[in-house]
Amino acid sequence: MAQVKNNYQFEDMLQKHNLKKTAPRLRVLSMMYSKNTATSQPDLESVMNDIDRVTLYRILNTFEEKGIIHKVFDLNGTANYAVCHSDCRENHHQDEHLHFNCTLCKNVYCINELNMPKLTLPAGFEAQGFTLYASGLCPKCSKKEQVKMN
Amino acid sequence: MAQVKNNYQFEDMLQKHNLKKTAPRLRVLSMMYSKNTATSQPDLESVMNDIDRVTLYRILNTFEEKGIIHKVFDLNGTANYAVCHSDCRENHHQDEHLHFNCTLCKNVYCINELNMPKLTLPAGFEAQGFTLYASGLCPKCSKKEQVKMN
DNA sequence: TTCTAAATACAATAATGTTGCATTTGTATT
DNA sequence: AATACAAATGCAACATTATTGTATTTAGAA
């Protein structure tokens, strides 16, 4: 499920967006691409505790501006970041997919397999984008629960 | 659109939930019921600056636990609170409706008129609830924009 | 190799979330 | 109406997260 990429590809990504290839940035990219769930900044901090908190903050911000990652909020309102798929470009995110919040492991999954239903809003509202959130148990946690039941 | 209620009704609401009738709580209720958009804690604080920040924080928490209001996050991840409609009960919110974030005035509207589409998740995921977010221009702001264009 | 703009690290502050505790207040009971 | 107790508020304090400014370092161009 996780998109596998090597370091050369990460360097290319940075170059494409006119960003300098730096160690912190490459590490953030490889960490985020190795997971199939979104990552919160505290997550990143605990893994890369030698990188400054503010640096991570700014890296995430610029990645988001450039359309490399997008930000989603979990059930507690903390920001999580996930790699964008294909069609995001600078300042225009195409993240109309389902964000699944697992209530047990707290992970946030981006479900791209599901296409958004067409929706009509009440008169006057002009929608620019939709995001759908679901909460419940992810595959791993629902299995665990089943084991417990037996 | 805003649900009109008087002070007696607010007192009843508190009593029903075994909450004491206090001035801060009644003021919060009347403020929230007078609006048709969700309210953030900073909003409340600026209006009721004589009430302690922590008191507001706790009032909002207990109201949420009791099913009187529900919490939604806006595009910036800040918590907003809106009065619940009919079928919320303690520890079980029925807020499967659309939350519309206006990108201009930043207001969050709860759109109950729209019924949620049925969705099927990938195998393994067990959804307990859905929430739909939309962003764009609310009726007021889209009118303003039209005026500007002329 | 040198130079410059960009990126990082560090310091500092703001905003928000959260807990503990003393004081006050609503309400049930006498 | 007075009392008594649990609940609610207000205040102090602290934790976490978001954010800005600036000196230092570094990537990449010349």
CB hemisphere CA count around B30 (13 angstroms): 15
Q: How confident is the model at residue B11 (pLDDT cuts 50, 70, 90)?
A: very high
Q: pLDDT at position B46, please?
A: 92
Count of the separate structural domains present in chain A: 1
Q: pLDDT at position A119, please?
A: 85
What are A85-140's pLDDT values in tens digits?
Answer: 755 555 555 667 889 999 888 899 998 887 777 888 999 999 988 888 899 999 99
Q: Which bases on strand D have an atom closer than 7 Å to a protein beta carbon?
A: 7-13, 16-21, 26-28
Q: Which nucleotide C1' is nearest B20 CA?
A: C26
Q: How confident is the model at residue A21 (pLDDT cuts 50, 70, 90)?
A: very high
Q: pLDDT at position A2, please?
A: 63
Q: How far apart are CA A4 and CA A72, in angstroms?
A: 22
N-terminal to C-terminal alpha carbon distance within chain A? 29
Buried/exposed B29-61: b ≥16 CB within 10 Å, e otherwise: beebbeeebbbbbebbeeebeebeeeebeebbe
Please identify which residue in the block is written with the tokens 């009065």.
B83
Please identify which residue in the block is written with the tokens 């595959």.
A139
Q: Which nucleotide C1' is nearest B76 CA?
A: D18
User: Hey, is A38 helix, strand or coil?
Assistant: coil
User: Hey, is B39 helix, strand or coil?
Assistant: strand
Do the domain assignments include residue A1? Answer: no
Do the domain assignments include residue B143? Answer: yes
Q: pLDDT at position A92, please?
A: 56
Buried/exposed A68-93: b ≥16 CB within 10 Å, e otherwise: bbbbbbbbeeebbbbbbeeebeeeeb
**H or E stretch covering B43:** helix B41-47
Q: Which of residues 68-107 of A touch B (CB under 8 A)?
A: 73, 77-79, 98, 100, 103
Do the domain assignments include residue A2? Answer: no
Do the domain assignments include residue B38? Answer: yes
Do the domain assignments include residue B91? Answer: yes
Range of the domain at A83: 7-149
Whether the per-residue pLDDT at B104 is higher than 90: the answer is no
Residue B102 phi/psi, 5° resolution? -80, 125
Residue whose CA lies closest to nucleotide D28 C1':
A20
Selected for mutation to probe chain A from B40, B73, B76, B120 (highest A CB count within 10 Å) is: B73
Selected for mutation to probe chain B from A101, A121, A137, A146 (highest B CB count within 10 Å) is: A121
List the beta bridge partners of residue A109: A37, A100
| Amino acid in the structure at residue B20 | K
CATH of the domain at A108: 1.10.10.10
Whether the per-residue pLDDT at B103 is higher than 70: the answer is yes
Do the domain assignments include residue B2? Answer: no
Do the domain assignments include residue A38? Answer: yes
Q: Which two tokens stand for residue B23?
A: 């001035």
What are A63-83's pLDDT values in tens digits?
Answer: 999 999 999 888 778 889 999
Do the domain assignments include residue B125? Answer: yes
B42–A contact, CB cutoff 8 A: no
Q: pLDDT at position B148, please?
A: 75
Query: CA B58: distance to chain centroid?
Result: 16
Least-confidence region, from A40-49, B91-100, B128-137: B91-100
